[in-house]
Chains A and B, each alone.
Chain A
Amino acid sequence: RKEVEQDPGPFNVPEGATVAFNCTYSNSASQSFFWYRQDCRKEPKLLMSVYSSGNEDGRFTAQLNRASQYISLLIRDSKLSDSATYLCAVWEEYGNKLVFGAGTILRVKS
């Protein structure tokens, strides 16, 4: 089993829709989680950190469910510009490194 797993998608949604992605992780001791956005042929960019209490930034909400070992990203009122690959990342404290999932592709269509 991979350490961090994501549904590859693609998720095809119309503008204005609400869409949610999940990401599961295998290490129950993991403490820090992140969502990155990666546009085609570009580098990943940090979108949000995921706190135990949840985190909201405008149209984006990130949640952590420790019991089930997953994190989620909710995007409300999708824009065309939200089309990208969303990478989930888990911080491995003992290794001082990020472990990424394979990413979920989102396509927002007009």
Chain B
Amino acid sequence: GAGVSQSPRYKVAKRGQDVALRCDPISGHVSLFWYQQALGQGPEFLTYFQNEAQLDKSGLPSDRFFAERPEGSVSTLKIQRTQQEDSAVYLCASSRWRTQTYEQYFGPGTRLTVT
């Protein structure tokens, strides 16, 4: 079946622009995670949804970052007024479980470059 998909795969933004990154989780997966992966680092947790509820946003680096999942399926991560330090790969992962959600399937990521 289809895996997690993300779009766009690559995004170049000028500093100060707003960007929106989309994640389509595996159908039926209730839990959805966003991670940020800087070059040479592991994925760092940003935020977590269970269905449409955002249960944890403790990893969002600033109030310029905003995520939503209004209907409990597709999710969008929005970054306002992008800065150079936002350049990274943004990974989305989904899990079929509500708890014990360590069995996660990752999408291919969106590589964001802020110039």
Contacts and interface: CB of A to CB of B under 8 A. Distances in A.
Contact of A97 (B42, B45, B107): B45
A96 B106 contact: no
A42 interface: yes
Contacts of B99: 96
B101 interface: yes
Contact of A102 (B41, B56, B107, B108): B41
The 6 closest A-B pairs by CB, nearest first: A100-B42, A43-B106, A91-B102, A97-B45, A102-B42, A100-B43
Interface of A: 4, 8, 32, 34, 41-46, 87, 89, 91, 95-103
Interface SS of chain A: strand
Given A87-B43, A100-B44, A102-B40, 12 more contacts: A8-B40, A41-B111, A43-B106, A43-B107, A43-B108, A44-B43, A96-B56, A96-B99, A97-B33, A97-B101, A98-B102, A103-B40
A32 B102 contact: yes
Interface SS of chain B: loop
A37 B41 CA distance: 13
B78 to A, nearest CB: 21
A99 B56 CA distance: 14
Contacts, number: 50
A98 B104 contact: yes
B109 interface: yes
Interface string B31-47: 00100000011111100
B103 interface: yes
B90 to A, nearest CB: 11
A44 B102 CA distance: 13
A62 to B, nearest CB: 14
Contacts of A44: 43, 91, 106
